[in-house]
Amino acid sequence: MTELSVDERHAAGTVELTMQQAVNRALRTALAEDPAVLLFGEDVGRLGGVFRVTDGLQAEFGADRVFDTPLAESAIVGMAVGLAMNGFRPVPELQFDGFAYPAVDQIVNQMARMHYRSRGTAPMPITLRLPSFGGIQAPEHHGESLEALFAHVPGLKVVAPADPADAYRLLLQSVRADDPVVFMEPKARYWDRGPVPVGADASGMDPIGTSRVVRPGRHATLVAWGAMVHRCLEVAELAAEDGVDLEVLDLRWLKPIDADGLAASVARTRRAVVVHEAPLTAGLGAEVAALITERAFRDLAAPVQRVTGFDVPYPAGPLEPQYLPTIDRVLFAVQRTLEF
C-alpha cells in the first residue's frame, strides 16, 4: 500500500495522531456536539487520565461536564445509569480493565438490563471506557481481557479498536448509540500513530457490528481484535516471506459479531486461526470458531485453530510476554492449519 504524504493526508481529510490522541479527539467532538455528554471517572479531570487520554477536556468544557469521581467503580457505573435515565449520555471511565470487577453488578444488572426492564422507556446511552488488555507489563489487575465476560451479557455492545482511526470512529459511534457499549481500548497501542479522519460526520462509518479486512490474503484468515490485530499483521508479513498469503480480519465489534464477514473471509481462504489475549477456555475465540463452523463449514479445509493466553491469571510484569500470543505461536498455528 502506498504511503500518503502529510499534505496528501490533510487533503484527504485526515491527520496523523496516536490512538491516545484519537480517543481524546473523539471525546472532544462528542462533548462539543451534544451538551448531554458527560465524561467522568478516576482522575479523568485535572490529571487528564492515567494515560492522559482526557488531557485538556476539563479545562475546555468545565468541571460540570468532565469531572473526577471517588475510587469506587460500582458508584461510577451506578451514577452513569442514573444519569442515563435522566436524559444524559454518560461516558464513564474505569481506570484499568481489572478495576471493572467491583462494578460487574451495576454493569450486568443495571446498565445492561434497564432498557429491557423498563420496556423501552429508559434507554441506556452509556459508553463505558475501559483501558484494556495487556502489553505494558503493569502490576496485577492492570492488564485483563474481559471481552468474553461482557459479550456474554444480553443488552451490552462490546467493541475493541485496533488503530487510531478506528478508535476515533468507533468511540464516536458508541457515544452516539442509544445502547450501552463497553469500549475496550488496547492500552498497549495507545502510542501507535496513524491517519485519523478530521470530520465528525458519521457517514464514513461502517454500521455497528461490522468487521474489516485489514490485509487481504488467500491461504488462511487470522481473526483478531485490539492489540492482537497488530500482532497478526506482523505474522502475515513474516509468512509472506515464505510465500504464505494470510488474510487479517479485525473483528472490531465483539458484540454483535460480524458472522457474515467471518464467513466471507473463510470462504476465500478456507482456513482460520483466531488470536486473542484472554485465556483459552470459554474465551471469545470459541464463539468465533463456532460461528465460522456454522456459517462456513463446507468451505473449511481444516479445523479452526486458536492461539490465546493461557488458563492462568493474567500475569504481571516480566512474565507477561510469555503469556501473550507470540509471533511464533501464531505461525505454528498457521503451519498446523496448512498441513490439512
What amino acid positions are annotated as catalytic residues? 142
Instruction: Return the C-alpha torsion angle 168, 169, 175, 176, nearest 10.
Output: 150
Distance CA 245, CA 261 (A): 19
Per-residue DSSP letter, 128: E
Instruction: Specify the 3-state DSSP secondary structure of 33.
Output: helix
CB 156 within 8 A of CB 180: yes
Residue 135 zone, left/alpha/beta (φ > 0; ψ -120 to 50; rest) = left
Instruction: Write b or e for each residue in 98-126: b if 16 or more Cβ atoms lie within 10 A of its Cβ, otherwise e.
Output: bbbbebbebbbebbbbbbeeeeeeebbbb
Distance CA 157, CA 174 (A): 9
- 227 burial via Cβ count (<10 Å: 0-12, 13-18, 19+): buried
- Which residue spans within the chain are E strands per DSSP? 14-18, 37-41, 66-68, 89-93, 127-132, 157-159, 181-186, 193-197, 212-215, 220-224, 246-250, 253-255, 272-279, 305-309
Instruction: Specify the 3-state DSSP secondary structure of 246.
Output: strand
CA 241 from centre of chain: 30
CA distances from 151 to 248, 283, 325 (A): 22, 10, 21
Distance CA 22, CA 27 (A): 9
